[in-house]
Structure 1
Amino acid sequence: MTATVLAGWLGVIEQAASRYGLDFASLLQRSGIDPELLQQGTARVPQRKISDLMQLAMVMSNDRGFALTVARQVRPPSWYSLGYAIWASDTLLQGCQRLQHCAALFADAFHVQLIEHDGELQVVLRQAPLLRDPLLMLDWEVFAATIVLTIRHLHPAKPQPLRVVLPGPEPEMTAPFKRLFGEALAWQGEEVVLTFSASLMKEWLPGRNPELARQHDELSQRYLQAMNHRSFSRQVYEQLLSRDSLREVEAAQVAEALHMNLRTFQRRLQDEECCFRELLDQARHALCCRYLNNEQLSMGEISYLLGFANVSNLYRAFRRWRQEAPGEYRQRRRHDSLACLQTGGRSAQALIPVTFR
């Protein structure tokens, strides 16, 4: 899955960057993001580019807590109609339920789950399955901080979470994180877990407005329906990535997996000016990079899994994709991973150019 984020979040990151005096136009250019997207709030930006933009801004600002600064700039319009619906909710629980059902509107890289037990309500953020580019620590931090700050804005008591668990290693400077999340903060989890008092989450909010919330719920549903309709090619691509092997895969097999006949399948792709062969090539590219990161797989095994007739075809395809040999890519990624471990960040990886209409 190639995750995306609502383009309106670029404005949020721009506001955060301005607090450090950073040249945002330069940051956008270095992250491969079209500056025109700043004026297109309902467009979509690849999650990976947003992640790289924040990572670069964090380095340039020399502030490990840059994600927290980003979260502090979030306002209802940053979430489009979902933001207004959450702010008009009757209770914090209802707002979290809206987030659970419509999170993909602003970011589809993670899923939200609500768990109530023993008088506590947990808001759990999990990475979406089949995500091609794993989320960074900064991504988890900005999502978690945004939820906590929104809850604090909405409730007059400005409640703190009872407990917070964040993924990734504990940073050297924990003070900014504990000021925002509270002292009961731990790292090294595999997901974000925000724990609140269940009774507090069910209290009436002073700013509740059911009619306003309903209208924005309808707008959110229309946006999500249009988003899903436009991305049939994404569904096909994700179906290809979910397979154990791309050997001898045919369009008819994927159409069957998506519960439609081949003619409808081909028409849907044509409507998006796309073809199955193009998506199969993109899926091979993405999976090849993933397989090369696994040192246990030989070139012959990778070639077989991707459906190439021989290793020579794999080499020719990889040079077309990335202008280098697969062995060179594997060696460079090994070097980047070692550097990443030494610096505690994520190594820079070339973007895989996948475009969905």
Structure 2
Amino acid sequence: MGGQFTMSVSKISALMQGLEFFGLTSEELFQTEAIDLSSVSSPDHRLTAGQVNTIMEGLGRITGIEEIGLLLGERLSRGFSSIVGYILMNCANLGTAAVKYCEYETVVDGTGRMKLHEEGEQVELRSTVLDAALRNNRIYIDLKLAGTYTYINMLTGRRIPLCEVRFTCDMPRSAAEYERVFQCPVRFQSDNDALVLRREDLSIPLIGPNPALLEPFEKIARDARSGLRLQDHSPYTAQVLRLLLDHMRGGSPSIEAIAEQLAVSVRSLQNYLRKEGTSYLELLRAARQRMAEDYLHGTGISIDEIAYLLGFSEASAFYRAFRNWTGVTPTEFRRRRRSTEILAEQALDITF
């Protein structure tokens, strides 16, 4: 796929999370649009801009909903399962996360470019579409801007007010859904596609970052951006994280078990991780936090069961750890995320 604009499967999968609400699964969509399922079997695989365009056109044709991209972006419920997602969740504040996403966006999405522009007391997250076909695809552009806004709210744990949203696309039949989703003035036929925020909101802290993990994660992203694939020869940080996320069910894999799967000694693994600026315990904490947030937001299982699944001996230990990670209890985290989701569902029920 050299020389082509591509999007990672991890990003397209994240953007498709809300499909079931509209009576469709991503597998059904891919099969209908003749997308080879083997090409979307791994989060490290990439789809060409042409394939992405086919998927977006299929979304509109199958659902018959003009604003399907907007509504799917609104229903984003978790971040990208990629190194870029780990970088963003460990940034100190929204401004740093915005800068880092613009810097590493190509790792997950090479079909467009997001740039941060400062305009007095406002800042713009301005998106430029690179592929000619996608440039005219309303669903793709709607999904990208609405998904970005939803992700901003997920990272901060609050709804960030927008000053304005701009689209290059023509005016839709009705702008009501756009105004409901973004809750600000929405302009069409503009010179660019952009989310406009208050400059002061860039200082809003994110939920539970771990600054110590930022540099090793960025090292992996820099390698990936340079064309290195995060597979068998990826840095050890990425491999350990992948194994922890795959095997943490009812207990935490020991460093001995992880080292055995990587065919290295425990001491060698510790040395490799130290050279990459992290440790097994730091990665275990990051994996537990990511899985805890996914369980709390994406499932209805009890907090006691989540504690067991993440390897905690008792729920109280999980409560203390989660509060240290995020600054809120698991119950409060679930309540905040769920309240936002309920508001979106109520609005969609009224519309459809």
Q: Residue 76 of structure 2 aligns with which residue?
A: 73
Pairwise CA distance, 1:74: 5.2
Q: For the structure 1 residues 227 and 66, does the alpha-carbon distance in structure 2 shift closer, same or farther, using more than 3 Å as the test?
A: farther
1:69-105 CA deviation, whole Å, 9 max, x = no partner? 3322352234x11112112211111111011111111
TM-score, normalised to structure 2, is 0.59
Taking structure 1 as the reference length, the TM-score comes to 0.58
Equivalent residues in 2 for 1:93-132, closer than 5 Å? 93-128=95-130, 131-132=131-132
Contact 2:14–2:80 (CA under 8 A) maintained in structure 1: no
Work out whether residues 152 and 160 of structure 1, in 8 Å CA contact, stay in contact via their aligned partners in 2. no
**d(CA) in 2 for partners of 1:26, 1:200:** 40
What SS does the aligned partner of 1:204 have? coil
Give matches, 1:302-321, under 5 Å. Answer: none
What's the secondary structure of 2:114's corresponding residue?
strand
The CA deviation at 1:176 is 2.0
Letter in 2 for 1:226: G
2:19 to 7, 17, 23: 17
SS at match of 2:128: strand
Indicate conservation of the 8 Å contact 2:53/2:134, yes or no: no
Q: Distance in 1 between matches of 2:97 and 2:26?
A: 32
Partner of 2:206: 205
Per-residue deviation, residues 31-90 of structure 1 (Å, max 9, x unmatched) = 231112332111110122122212212221122221133322352234x11112112211
Contact 1:28 1:34 in 2 (8 A): yes
Does residue 87 in structure 1 map to residue 89 in structure 2?
A: yes
Match of 1:4 among 3, 6, 10: 6
Change (3 A) 1:65 1:134: closer
In the aligned structure 2, how far is the partner of 1:28 from the partner of 1:157?
Answer: 33
CA RMSD, Structure 1 to Structure 2 (Å): 2.3
Query: How far apart are the structure 2 equivalents of 1:82 and 1:196?
Result: 22
Unaligned runs of 5+ in 2: 230-352
1:57 matched to 2:73? The reply is no
The share of aligned pairs that are identical, in percent, is 15
- Cα separation, partners in 2 of 1:102 and 1:185, compared to 1, 3 Å: same
Deviation sequence 1:166-211 (CA, Å, 0-9, x none): 1211211322211221231111124212111111112333422212
* Cα shift at 1:220: 1.4
Distance 1:142 1:190 in 2: 18
Cα distance in 1 for partners of 2:170, 2:228 equals 35
Residue aligning to 1:36: 38
Q: Which amino acid aligns with 1:43?
A: H
Which residue is 1:336 aligned to?
none
Larger Rg: 1
161 and 177 in structure 1: CA distance in 2 versus 1, 3 angstrom threshold: same
The 5 Å alignment of 1:166-181 reads 166-181=167-182
Alpha-carbon distance in 2 for matches of 1:58, 1:172: 15
Aligned residues of 1:74 and 1:146 also touching (Cα < 8 A): no
CA distance in 2, matches of 1:57, 1:146: 16
Number of aligned residues: 226
Does the CA contact (< 8 Å) of 1:32 and 1:49 recur in 2? no
Alignment of 1:274-353 (within 5 A): none
The aligned counterpart of 1:144 is: 145
